[in-house]
């Protein structure tokens, strides 16, 4: 796929990249006319010795933009009345550094290095970017044509490759939050990319499980074996094509959860072939429309790309997309209450086989 990639600088020094589906867009001709303060310093990472995890403390995010009116949306193209994060009057797909990042490479000079002898502290080095899928404020990812989904995949692959090469980055995580029930702060169709400085807890758990499986089976890949089992039983498969399968996990944690996986083990988005990238969009759009069709209204969801880590354990990774919703009925949400929030022990209200049947019927 041929895209025009244009890099510009916003007035505070942050990077912005246009991914245009046609040449000669002239996006670079539009400067950022705003007077912005310098970007905030990196967040603080504090180590929790009780669970062997790092927690990011990013106090500057408390002041981030929250559900502005549509005529003041920072993700819409700039107009004569309002200067947004995107200086050009139109765009296809655009990626820029988050103005309120959880992780960045800007280190405060007075960084604390130790709170107690049990709790070390270090800068939250990394990067956070925003991905705008369309300039149409009232659209949704599920309403995009397959050609635009292909552009988004190209943009995510581009950013994954570049961010994976930054010093100290452990994993690159693209995702989309949709719906006020999920907690979005901007209605415009967009996603984010986190370049983590540490391996996140879920990835760490998956790596441990994959390593144990490889040791027991003489080197077999855990996710490949799980996918093959789902393809064989077919009970929880929602849809498939030549290169991808969408299925409900047998031990789904969320009321409605689907994983989309390529049939070939690849570590991340840049490793996908052109044919695999072409085949992803139609299948994913089909699944998103099934989600919205379940209860006849837009489904709140989180869409999360699980990619291989950058360093040790990379060979254990298997790229896949996890899509899930907290809606368990037309008028009910799944809250992460005592067991889930305090203990991390999930209790699902919907039998995965029932969820798969409902999603198949929602076509």
132 is in an annotated binding site: no
**Burial grade of 7 (CB within 10 A; 0-12, 13-18, 19 or more):** exposed
CA distance 273 to 153: 11
Phi, psi torsion values for 12, nearest 5 degrees: -100, 10
Structural domains in the chain, sorted by start: 4-39+73-106+126-198 (3.30.428.10), 202-361 (3.30.428.10)
pLDDT in tens, 146-174: 999 999 999 999 999 999 999 999 999 99
Q: Specify the pTM.
A: 0.96
Q: Contact 191/303 with Cβ under 8 angstroms?
A: yes
* CA dihedral sign, ordered 30, 159, 67, 55: negative
Closest-CA residue to 42 (of 175, 202, 196, 200): 196
pLDDT at 115: 87
Q: Output the pLDDT for position 229.
A: 98
State the burial class of residue 66 (Cβ atoms within 10 Å of its Cβ: 0-12, 13-18, 19+): exposed
Give CA 350 to chain center in angstroms.
Answer: 24
The H-or-E segment that residue 225 falls in is helix 222-233
Count of Cβ atoms closer than 10 Å to residue 286 Cβ = 15
Q: How many CB atoms lie within 10 A of CB 120?
A: 15
User: The tokens 């169709």 sit on which residue?
Assistant: 189
For the chain, residues with pLDDT lower than 70 are 108-112
Give the per-residue pLDDT at 234: 97
Instruction: Work out the burial of residue 345: count CB atoms within 10 Å of its CB; fewer than 13 is exposed, 13-18 middle, 19 or more buried.
Output: exposed
Buried b (16+ CB within 10 A) or exposed e, 14-51: bebbbbbbeeebebeeeebeeeeeebbbbbbbbbeeee
Give residue for tokens 């943009």: 155
Residue 174 has φ and ψ, to the nearest 5°, of -85, 140
SS3 79: coil
128 is in an annotated binding site: no
Read off the pLDDT of residues 10-67 as tens digits, 9 standing for 90 and up.
999 999 999 999 988 889 999 999 999 999 988 999 999 999 999 999 988 988 888 8
State how far the Cα of 299 lies from the Cα of 290, in Å rounded to an integer: 9
Residues annotated catalytic, as ranges = 190
Q: What is the pLDDT of residue 316?
A: 98
CA distance 252 to 354: 11
235 within 8 A of 356, measured Cβ to Cβ: yes
């Amino acid at each position: 796929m041929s895209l025009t990639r244009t890099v510009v600088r916003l007035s505070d020094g942050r990077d912005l990249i246009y991914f245009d589906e046609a040449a000669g867009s002239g996006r670079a001709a539009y400067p950022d006319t705003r007077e912005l303060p310098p970007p905030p310093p990196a967040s603080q990472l504090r180590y929790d010795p009780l669970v062997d995890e790092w927690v990011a403390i990013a106090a500057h995010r408390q002041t981030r933009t929250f559900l502005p009116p549509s005529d003041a949306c920072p993700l819409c193209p700039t107009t004569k009345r309002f200067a947004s994060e995107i200086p050009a009057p139109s765009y296809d797909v655009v990626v820029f550094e988050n103005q309120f990042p959880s992780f960045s490479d800007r280190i405060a000079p007075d960084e604390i290095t130790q709170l107690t002898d049990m709790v070390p502290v270090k800068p939250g080095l990394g990067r956070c970017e925003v991905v705008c899928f369309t300039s149409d404020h009232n659209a949704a990812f599920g309403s995009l044509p397959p050609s635009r989904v292909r552009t988004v995949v190209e943009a995510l692959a581009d950013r994954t490759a570049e961010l994976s090469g930054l010093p100290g980055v452990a994993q690159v995580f693209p995702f989309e939050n949709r719906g006020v029930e999920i907690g979005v702060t901007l209605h415009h169709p967009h996603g984010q990319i986190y370049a983590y400085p540490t391996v996140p807890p879920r990835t760490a758990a998956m790596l441990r499980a994959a390593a144990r499986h490889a040791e027991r089976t003489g080197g077999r890949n855990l996710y490949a074996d799980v996918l093959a089992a789902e393809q064989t039983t077919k009970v929880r498969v929602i849809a498939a094509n030549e290169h991808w399968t969408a299925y409900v996990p047998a031990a789904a944690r969320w009321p409605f959860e689907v994983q989309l996986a390529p049939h070939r083990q690849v570590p991340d988005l840049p490793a996908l072939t052109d044919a695999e990238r072409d085949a992803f969009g139609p299948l994913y759009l089909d699944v998103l429309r099934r989600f919205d069709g379940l209860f006849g209204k837009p489904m709140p969801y989180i869409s999360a790309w699980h990619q291989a880590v950058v360093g040790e354990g990379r060979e254990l990774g298997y790229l896949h997309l996890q899509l899930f919703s907290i809606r368990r009925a037309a008028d009910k949400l799944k809250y992460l209450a005592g067991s889930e929030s305090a203990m991390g022990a999930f209790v699902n209200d919907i039998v995965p086989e029932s969820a798969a049947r409902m999603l198949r019927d929602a076509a």
